[in-house]
Amino acid sequence: NNNYLNTNMVESLMLTKSKIKKADLIVVYGDIFFDKKIIEKISKIRGNVIPINSHWLKSWKKRYKTIKSVKNDAEDLIVSKGKIKSIGNKIKKKLPKFQYMGIIKLSHKSFYKLQKFYKILNNKKISLTEFINETIKSKTAQYKYIAIKNYWYEVDNENDLKYLRKNIKNLF
């Protein structure tokens, strides 16, 4: 995406249209370190699926000093009856049970529906979590979820990277 500085990752994803073959698509954020078994697990599930981290708070507490700081960085995630109901909103009071991991599997059929919806939205700066949430609200797509306990860590800054390097041996 030559225009990334003025757009966002969803625009980058949509630019792949001509490269995508008739197969499902797995999108992974570039700033995460995780167990490859997560990909194996979601690959076996039909349709759109988002792995969600059930042990997220342990990781966030290592990254941030206070619960207030955790709430400022983490996003709300609401699930019900095997589906994601809401994702990406600010946490208001209670910490969510799960956290989005920056990994999503999209069915080939759904990807094309999402492209059409993205054009209608006409918001090239929308984040992926905001986009997913908009597709849920508009009923453009549904997303199953799978709760994950496998290791996962996000690297947003130098301190996160130092922590990961120090503890990486304990993950295997």
pLDDT at 95: 93
Does the pLDDT at position 141 exceed 90?
A: yes
Q: Can you tell me the distance from the alpha carbon of 121 to that of 102, in angstroms, rounded to the nearest whole number?
A: 22
Q: How many CA within 13 A on the CB side of residue 155?
A: 14
> Could you report the per-residue pLDDT of 98-133, keeping only the tens digit for each?
999 999 999 999 999 999 999 999 999 999 999 999
> How far is 82 from 91, CA to CA, in rounded Å?
21
Q: What pLDDT does 54 receive?
A: 93
pLDDT score recorded for residue 10 = 95
Query: What integer pLDDT is reported at residue 171 of this predicted model?
Result: 67
How much is the pLDDT for 63?
Answer: 83
For 99-122, b/e burial (b = at least 16 CB within 10 A) is bbbbbbbbbeebbeebeeebeebe
Extract the tokens encoding 76.
């709300």
- Say what the pTM is: 0.91
Mean of the per-residue pLDDT values for the chain?
A: 92
Distance CA 84, CA 147 (A): 11
Residue closest to 8 by CA, chosen among 36, 24, 29, 23: 29
Q: What is the pLDDT of residue 144?
A: 98
Question: Nearest CA to 52 among 111, 97, 106?
Answer: 97
**According to the model, what pLDDT value does residue 170 have?**
73
* Tokens found for residue 119: 């054009």
Name the band, by pLDDT with cuts 50, 70 and 90, for residue 21: confident
* Tens-digit pLDDT profile for residues 26-70: 999 999 999 999 999 999 999 999 999 998 998 888 888 888 888
Q: How far, in Å, CA of 17 to CA of 113, rounded?
A: 12
